[in-house]
Amino acid sequence: MSDSPILVTGGAGFIGSHLVDALLAKGYAVRVLDNLSSGKPGNLPLENPRLELIVGDVADAALVLRAVAGCQAVAHLAAVASVQASVDDPVSTHQSNFVGTLNVCEAMRQHGVKRVLFASSAAVYGNNGEGLAIDEDTPKAPLTPYAVDKLGSEQYLDFYRRQHGLEPAIFRFFNIFGPRQDPSSPYSGVISIFIERAQQGLPITVFGDGEQTRDFVYVGDLVGLLLRALELPVLEVGAANVGLNRATSLNQLLAEIAGVLGGLPQVTYVAARAGDIRHSRANNQRLLSRYGFPEPTPMAMGLAQLLAH
C-alpha cells in the first residue's frame, strides 16, 4: 500500500468521518478537506498522526490543487447535503456542490491522480421511477438545485474520464443512516430525527400516513462499499445506485425503534410534505455485480448502533 494519502473532501461530516475511520483502520494515510459548515472536528480522530485536516472550501480552486497534491486517490463527499438549503440559496450551494467537483477534477488532472469516488444522490431521478425499483437508466429528472448540481457533477466526472483518464466511481446514495448524522434540521435524515426525539421523549411528527417507503442503508455498509471501489483494479463506467432494493415504511421504522427502545413517545400524523416522494427504492443489480454487497446490517442493529452513539 502506497503511503501517500487518500483525500476525503467532506471528511468531517456524517458519511465522510466514517470513511476516514475505515481508511485509517486499513492503514491508509488520510487527508481531509472540509470547511466545517456541517462537519465537526469532533467527528475525526485528530490525534492520529496519519490524519491531516485542512479546513477550507472545495470552491477554492487553489486550495483544492494543494490538497490533491501527493494523494493517491480522492473520495469527493463535500457538499451542502441539505436539499432545502439548495432551494433557498442555489447560488451559494452551487459553489460547493458543483464548482467544488469541477475543482477536484481539474486538480486531479493537473496532479495525475486517477481514482475518485463521488457521492451522488437518488435525487437525480426526481419522481421518475416512483414506486418501482429505480435502475440507473431511469430518465433523470433533477427537481432541485441540489439534484442539478449532483447530475452536472456526474457529467463533469465523466468528461474528465473520457478526456483525461480519470477513474470515477459514481454512487447514487439512497437514504443513508447511522451515528453522527446531524438531526438538527427538519430536513435532516428521518431516522436521525426520530431517534433523537424518541431518546429525549419528545413527540414525533410523521408527514403523511407513514406508509411512504424509503430504501435505508446503514453507513457502515456504505463505507465497506466505498473501500472496495477504491481498491478495485478496474472500474466499470457509469453510476451505481446504493440501496438494498428494500422498502421500509416510516410506520415499520417506528415499530423497529419502539422495539429497540422499548417504547415510543407520542407520534402525530400531519399532512404530507409538498412534493414528498411516496416510494423510493433502488434497483441495486449493478451495485451487486460490480462491487458485491455482503449481508447488510439489519435495521434493528443499525438503530442500536445509533442509540449507543
Residues that are catalytic: 146
**Contact residues for ligand NAD (CB under 6 A)?**
9-10, 12-16, 33-39, 57-59, 77-81, 96, 100, 119, 121, 173, 175-176, 182, 189
Which of ligand UD2, ligand NAD, none lies near 212, with the C-beta cut-off 5 to 8 A by kind? ligand UD2
Other CB atoms within 10 Å distance of the CB of residue 132: 11
Q: For 80, how many CA atoms within 13 A lie in the half-sphere containing its CB?
A: 28
- The rounded distance, in Å, linking the Cα atoms of 157 and 271 is 39
CA distance readout (Å), 147 to 54, 95, 122, 170, 208:
27, 14, 8, 14, 24
User: CB 21 → ligand UD2: shortest distance, Å?
Assistant: 21
- Residue 264, contacted partner among ligand UD2, ligand NAD, none, CB below 5-8 A by kind: none
Nearer to ligand NAD, 80 or 229 (CB): 80
> How far, in whole angstroms, is CA 169 from its chain's centroid?
13
Cell of 79: 457538499
* Residue 235 contact, options ligand UD2, ligand NAD, none, Cβ 5-8 Å cut-off depending on partner type: none
CB of 18 to ligand UD2, least distance (A): 15
Cβ distance to ligand UD2 smaller for residue 193 or 282: 193
The distance of closest approach from Cβ of residue 223 to ligand NAD in the complex, given in angstroms and rounded to an integer, is 11
Distance in angstroms (rounded) separating the CA atoms of residues 175 and 243: 8
3-state helix, strand and coil shares in percent for the chain, rounded to the nearest 5: 40, 20, 40
Give the residues lining the site for ligand UD2 (CB under 6 A).
83, 121-123, 175, 187-190, 193, 205-207, 212, 214, 250, 273, 276-277, 280
**Nearest distance, CB of residue 239 and ligand UD2, angstroms:** 14
CA separation for the pair 125, 136 (Å, rounded): 9
Residue 39 or residue 224: which is nearer to ligand NAD going by CB?
A: 39
| Residue 80 contact partner, candidates ligand NAD, ligand UD2, none, CB within 5 to 8 A by sort of partner | ligand NAD
